[in-house]
A and B are shown apart, each in its own frame.
Chain A
Amino acid sequence: MTVLGHLEDIPPGEGRTYDVHGEMVAVFRLRDGSVRALSAVCPHRGGPLADGQIDHEVVVCPMHLMAFDLTTGCSLSGQPDLTVYPVTVDADGYLVIASLTASEVPS
Chain B
Amino acid sequence: MSGTERLRSEPRREDERRAAERGQAQPPRLVVIGNGMAGARTVEEILSRGGDFAITMFGDEPYGNYNRIMLSNVLAGVEDESGIFLNDLSWYTDNGITLHAGRRISRIDRFAKQVYAEDGTATPYDKLIIATGSRAFVPPIPGIHRPGRGYHQGVFAFRTLDDTRSMIRYAREHERAVVIGGGLLGLEAARGLQNHVSHVTLLHAMGHLMNTQLDAQAGAILQRSVEQLGIEVVCDAMTTEILGKHAVTGVKLADGRVIDCDVVVVAAGIRANTEVAAASGLVVERGIVVDDQMRAQDEPDIYVVGECAQHRGETYGLVAPLWDQAKVLADHLTGRDPRAAYHGSRIATKLKVAGVDVASMGLKEPERDDDETLIFSEPRKGIYKSVIIRDGRLVGATLVGDVKKVAFLMQAFDRGLALPEDRVELMFDLGGPPAEVSAAELADDAQVCNCNGVTKATIAETVHGGCKTVSGVMDKTRAGKGCGTCKSLVAQIVEWAAGGAVEEDPRASWYVPGVPMPKPELMAAIRTHDLRSVSSVFAKLVPGGQEDAKSKMGLASLLKMMWGEDYVDERDARFINDRVHANIQRDGTFSVVPQMKGGVTTPAQLKRIAEVAEKHAVPMVKLTGGQRIDLLGVPKEKLPEIWADLDMPSGYAYGKSFRTVKTCVGSDFCRFGVGDSTALGIALEERYQGIEGPGKMKLAVTGCPRNCAEAYVKDLGVVAIDGGRWEIYVGGAAGAHVRKGDLLATVESPDEVITLTGRFLQYYRENANWLERTYAWVPRVGIEHIRAVVVDDTEGLAAGLDAAMDASVAAYRDPWKERAQPATPGQFRTSLPLVVLPQVPVR
Contacts and interface: CB of A to CB of B under 8 A. Distances in A.
A86 interface: no
B586 A63 contact: yes
A3 interface: no
Contacts of A9: 825-826
A65 B549 CA distance: 10
Contacts of B824: 11, 14
Nearest to B173: A80
A10 B831 contact: no
Contact of B831 (A8, A13, A51, A76): A51
A40 B576 CA distance: 15
Interface in B621-643: 637
- At the interface, is chain A mostly helix, strand, loop or mixed? loop
A23 B776 CA distance: 45
Given A11-B824, A14-B572, A67 B549 contact: yes
B584 A63 contact: yes
Contact of B76 (A43, A53, A60, A78): A78
A84 interface: no
A58 B831 contact: no
B546 A55 contact: yes
Given A55-B549, A77-B77, A105 B572 contact: no
B572 A11 contact: yes
A105 B549 contact: no
Contact of B833 (A40, A53, A58): A40
Interface in B569-587: 570-573, 575-577, 579, 584, 586-587
Given A8-B825, A15-B831, A62-B575, A46 B838 contact: yes
B831 A48 contact: yes
B829 A107 contact: yes
Interface in A32-77: 40-41, 43-56, 58-60, 62-63, 65-67, 76-77
A26 interface: yes
Interface string B544-587: 00111110110000000000000000111101110100001011
Interface string B77-93: 11111000000000000
B239 to A, nearest CB: 28
Interface in A83-101: none
Contacts of A55: 514, 546-549, 552
Given A62-B575, A77-B77, A107-B829, A47 B588 contact: yes
Given A8-B825, A24-B833, A77-B77, A13 B588 contact: no
B832 interface: yes
B452 interface: no
A56 B833 contact: no
A47 B514 CA distance: 24
Contact of B80 (A16, A52, A78): A78
Given A53-B550, A107-B637, A19 B833 contact: yes
B833 A76 contact: no
B826 A51 contact: no
A21 interface: no
Contacts of B80: 76-78
Given A13-B573, A78-B74, A26 B549 contact: no
A85 to B, nearest CB: 15
Nearest to B172: A80
B586 A78 contact: no
Contacts of A62: 575-577, 584
Contacts of B546: 55-56
Contact of A17 (B552, B553, B832): B832
Contacts of B838: 45-46
Contacts of A16: 826, 829, 831
Contacts of B781: none
A17 B836 CA distance: 14
Contacts of A11: 571-572, 824-826
B381 to A, nearest CB: 26
A31 to B, nearest CB: 6
Contact of A58 (B549, B572, B587, B588): B549
A46 B837 contact: yes
B576 A51 contact: yes
B77 A79 contact: yes
B572 A31 contact: yes
Nearest to B164: A78
Contacts of A45: 586, 838
A12 B15 CA distance: 58
B474 to A, nearest CB: 20
Interface in B820-842: 824-826, 828-833, 836-838
Contacts of A14: 571-572, 579, 824
A14 B577 CA distance: 14
B547 A56 contact: yes
A14 B816 CA distance: 21
A46 B588 CA distance: 8
B426 to A, nearest CB: 39
B825 A10 contact: yes
Given A60-B550, A78-B79, A12 B572 contact: yes
B450 interface: no
B829 A51 contact: no
A13 B195 CA distance: 30
Query: Which of B552, B575, B825 is the most central at the interface, judged by chain A CB atoms within 10 Å of its CB?
Result: B825
Contact of B570 (A13, A44, A80, A105): A13
A48 B588 contact: yes
A60 B552 CA distance: 11
A45 B584 CA distance: 13
Contacts of A105: 829-830, 833
B168 interface: yes
B808 interface: no
A53 B829 contact: no
B471 interface: no
Contacts of B553: 53
Contact of B549 (A17, A24, A53): A53
A85 B372 CA distance: 68
B70 to A, nearest CB: 11
B213 interface: no
B831 A50 contact: yes
A24 B837 CA distance: 12
B223 interface: no
Given A26-B831, A56-B546, 14 more contacts: A11-B824, A17-B829, A17-B832, A24-B836, A46-B588, A48-B832, A51-B831, A53-B573, A53-B576, A62-B575, A62-B576, A77-B78, A77-B80, A79-B77
In the complex, the 5 A-B pairs of residues with the closest C-beta atoms, listed nearest first: A13-B572, A78-B77, A55-B547, A48-B831, A48-B832
Interface of B: 74-81, 168, 172, 195, 514, 535, 546-550, 552-553, 570-573, 575-577, 579, 584, 586-588, 637, 824-826, 828-833, 836-838
17 contacts: A11-B826, A13-B570, A14-B571, A14-B579, A14-B824, A48-B832, A51-B576, A52-B549, A53-B552, A53-B575, A53-B576, A60-B549, A62-B577, A78-B75, A78-B195, A105-B829, A105-B830
